[in-house]
Structure 1
Amino acid sequence: MTQLYFIRHAQPNFENHKDSERELSPKGRKDCALVTEFLLDKNISAVYSSPFRRAVDTLGEFAALRGLPIRILDDFRERRVDSGWIEDFTAFSRRQWEDFSYRLSGGECLREVQARNLRALRRVLRECPDASVAVGTHGTALSTLLNAYDPGFGHADFERIKTLMPWAVHFTFFGEECAGIEEINLFTQEVKIRKEVVASYELETL
């Protein structure tokens, strides 16, 4: 059984429009303590991340405390929207969730984002079987993974979590089969079960 704890980055500095270089805001840096506290008792043996600065920095405190290197996987990066800044992000996002093939000329569609994030996830499963792993990620990237294993996760869910930073999603895998999904609000500790691991499934699999 492999436990993957995906951590959506803490609040970034929205004044920095360079996506890959966007640092955390002062609030975001402070909220990294919530991530560290959440992960401390999870027996994490490996840490992966998107290459984007805000994702790496959100896990930096925890990784340093545990003496774990942060392994960068480029496929975990956030969706590329376009070559420029999008003013009406809500309308753009809604259209992408309605049509997974929709993209702007310089950007990616959600189908492309989902495919490469699934590729990265499966690589982690191969490299860390039967381990507990933390992964630094992004709101849209993580949402497409949720949609892949729970097609009921759609635009309304994305809007619900859009401003929730940091945010955690716990996946349970048996081999490469997803057996459980939990969303965790790190501010309130509220857990939303999207797919529950049942004892009978675990016994049959093991």
Structure 2
Amino acid sequence: MTTIYFIRHAESDYTEHNDELRPLTDKGLIDRQLVTAYLMDKDIKIILSSPYKRAVDTLVDFANKVNLPVITVPDFRERKVDSEWIDDFDSFARQQWQDFNFKLSDGESLSEVQQRGIAALKKVLENYKNQNIAIGTHGTILSTIINFYDKSFGYNEFNEIKHVMPWIVKFKFDGDKCIEIEKINIFKYKYK
């Protein structure tokens, strides 16, 4: 049995429009302690993350406490929306969930994001079989991974979690077959 804890990053500072460099807010830096508290007794052997600062920084507190490196995996990065900042993100997101192939001229479709995320996940399942793994990632790519295994997860469910940061989703796999998906309410855990 392989157990993967996907961790959507804590709250990030949207005044930084560079997706790769966007840091956590002060609240995000505090809330990442919830991730640490939750993961401490999960016997995590491997910590992987999107290379984006907010994803790595969400896991670094836990990584330091358990003396494990955070290994970056570029394919767990967030979807590229476009080269320009999008002001009406809600309309854009709705359109993408209605048409998985819709994308802006310099962006990615949800279909492309899902294919990238699932390919990366399959490599993890091959390379770290029967381990407990934490993976730092982002809301959209995580939502498309859930959707791959559970087609009922769509725009409405994505919209419900868009402000939930951090967010943990636990996947259990028997080989490469997903047998359970559990969404974790991280805010019931206490700061340490």
What's the TM-score once normalised by structure 2's chain length? 0.97
Cα displacement (A) at 1:93: 0.1
Tell me the equivalent position of 1:31. 31
Using the alignment, how far apart are the partners of 1:62 and 1:121 within structure 2?
21
Match of 1:192 in 2: none
| In structure 1, C-alpha distance between the alignment counterparts of 2:27 and 2:72, rounded to whole Å | 24
| Matches for 1:187-206 after TM superposition, within 5 Å | 187-188=187-188
Task: Report the CA distance between 1:164 and its aligned residue.
Answer: 0.1
Counterpart in the other structure of 2:13 = 13
What is the SS of the residue equivalent to 2:60? Answer: helix
Residue 156 of structure 1, CA deviation: 0.3
Query: Percentage identity across aligned positions?
Result: 51
Cα-to-partner distance string for 1:118-142 (whole Å, 9 max, x where unaligned): 0111111111110100000000010
Q: Deviations over 1:157-204 (max 9, x none)?
A: 000000000000000000000000000121136xxxxxxxxxxxxxxx
Partner of 1:92: 92
In 2, the alpha carbon distance for the partners of 1:54 and 1:141 equals 14
Helix, strand or coil: the match of 2:187? Answer: coil
Query: Cα distance, 1:58 vs. partner?
Result: 0.1
The correspondence of residues 37-52 of structure 1 with structure 2, limited to 5 A, is 37-52=37-52
Stretches of structure 1 that go unaligned for 5 or more consecutive residues are 190-206
Whole-angstrom distance in 2 between the partners of 1:16 and 1:75? 22
Mapping 1:6-155, distance limit 5 Å = 6-155=6-155
- Deviation digits for residues 78-129 of structure 1 (CA, Å, limit 9, x no counterpart): 0000001000000000000000000000100000000000011111111111
For residue 37 of structure 2, give the secondary structure of its aligned residue in structure 1: helix
CA distance in 2 between partners of 1:92 and 1:36 (Å) = 33
Hey, what's the Cα distance between the residues in 2 that align with 1:25 and 1:93?
Answer: 23
- The structure whose RCO (Cα within 8 Å, separation 6+) is larger is 2
Which residues of 2 match residues 172-191 of structure 1 at below 5 A? 172-188=172-188
CA displacement 1:31-77 (0-9 Å, x = unmatched): 01000000001000000000100000000000111111111111000
SS at 1:171's partner residue? strand
Letter in 1 for 2:170: H
Structure 2's unaligned 5+ residue stretches are none
User: How far apart in 2 are the matches of 1:45 and 1:64?
Assistant: 13
TM-score, normalised with respect to structure 1: 0.91
Q: State how far apart, in whole Å, the 2-side matches of 1:57 and 1:21 are.
A: 11
List structure 1 segments (4+ residues) > 3 angstroms apart after TM superposition. none
In 2, the alpha carbon distance for the partners of 1:19 and 1:183 equals 25
- How far apart in 1 are the matches of 2:167 and 2:185? 6
> Which residue of structure 2 aligns with residue 157 of structure 1?
157
